[in-house]
Amino acid sequence: MTLKQALRQTREIFARQNIEDSRLESELLLRHALGISQVQLYQDLHRELGSEAEADFGRLVKRRLRGEPTAYITGHREFYGIDFYVNPRVLIPRPESELLVEEALKHAQSRPLSTIADIGTGCGAIAISLSINLPRTKIYATDISALALKVARFNCHKHGVVDRVCLLRGDLLDPLPEPVDLVIANLPYVTETEVSRMCLANFEPELALNGGWDGLEKIRELCREVGDRLYPGGSLLLETGLGQSRAVASLLRRLFPSANIEIIPDLTGIDRAVSLTLATTTAAVEVTW
């Protein structure tokens, strides 16, 4: 069997099992089995796979068919054009979270950001993408999970940003040693009920997904605490789940009446993120939900 035939066969099996991106996933697994780049794969399409490689590839395909995500099988996931190491201790970065990075970079164009905090950094995808694009900015990246921070540390080394990304363990904003210009966060926002279904189905850590009864518990906590962690004129950028952005925007409106609050849609028009920019002097008000 040639590489091309192996790919076609796997693509068809994946498609029948309703695995999205069946073509990309078969290519990633075959490349992983053979230890080759995408360019090499395309150059070698007509060569024979060989029985040993065929058996290796077959084992990876079986794992995928049992529900394990390709990113965990290969240990890689691309985010914002950058290759990240991932394992089941961290959420697999999603393409939609690239919107947060783009928005943060827009903020950086309109005013200098000397410090940013990425809260709940996981594998470090957001913090490291920002650090690569904003080499003069100091970035704090926090996570409550020590095992997630190990993954983030590995990625900081891989991308040469250990001196600029400071990893801190703790809940939400607790570990921050100083106020920052921008707080950015993709916190857990999936509802409890949905989470049990998702974690069983895709192996991801519950801690990174579970946002409590309505999905917004962690986000509410962060919104309530963020006021005195931002410099005047500072900003907050939050990823939100489907249908959550209005609730988050109205909470922020009540907490920060004089701030500028925006709901940010992604390229497909779906509301994906909420941003808050404080006035140069602000007063937070108490809100109970």
Task: DSSP for 42-73, please give it.
Answer: HHTTTSB--HHHHHHHHHHHHHHHTT--HHHH
Q: Which residue has the tokens 């999205």?
A: 20
Among residues 70, 69, 123, the alpha carbon closest in space to that of 97 is found at 123
- Residue at token pair 């240990």: 75
Give least dist CB 20 to ligand GLN, A.
12
Cα gap 210→151, rounded to integer Å: 20
Residue closer to ligand GLN (CB basis): 189 or 256: 189
Shortest Å distance, C-beta 148 to ligand GLN: 13
CA-CA distance, 172 to 169, in Å (whole number)?
A: 9
User: Is the Cβ of residue 6 or residue 86 nearer to ligand GLN in the bound state?
Assistant: 86
> Rounded to an integer, what is the distance from CA 36 to the centroid of its chain?
26
Nearer to ligand GLN, 200 or 283 (CB): 200
Nearer to ligand GLN, 71 or 91 (CB): 91
Identify which of residues 107 and 218 has a Cβ nearer to ligand GLN in the complex.
218
CB of 220 to ligand GLN, least distance (A): 14
**E strands, the chain, where?**
76-79, 82-85, 115-119, 138-143, 165-169, 180-185, 230-239, 260-265, 271-277
Task: Report residue 269 as tokens.
Answer: 């028009």
Q: Tally helices (H) and strands (E) across the chain.
A: 11, 9
Q: Which residues bind ligand GLN (CB under 6 A)?
A: 91, 94, 186-190, 209, 239
Lookup: tokens for 90: 């961290």
Q: Which is nearer to ligand GLN, 56 or 204 (CB)?
A: 204
Match 């986000």 to its residue by tokens: 219
Minimum distance from CB of 259 to ligand GLN (Å)?
23
Give least dist CB 244 to ligand GLN, A: 10
User: What residues pair up with 239 in beta bridges, in sequence order?
Assistant: 273
Give me the least distance between CB of 58 and ligand GLN, in Å please.
Answer: 29
CB of 211 to ligand GLN, least distance (A): 6
Give the nearer residue to ligand GLN in terms of CB position, either 45 or 147.
147
Give me 14's structure tokens.
Answer: 């994946």
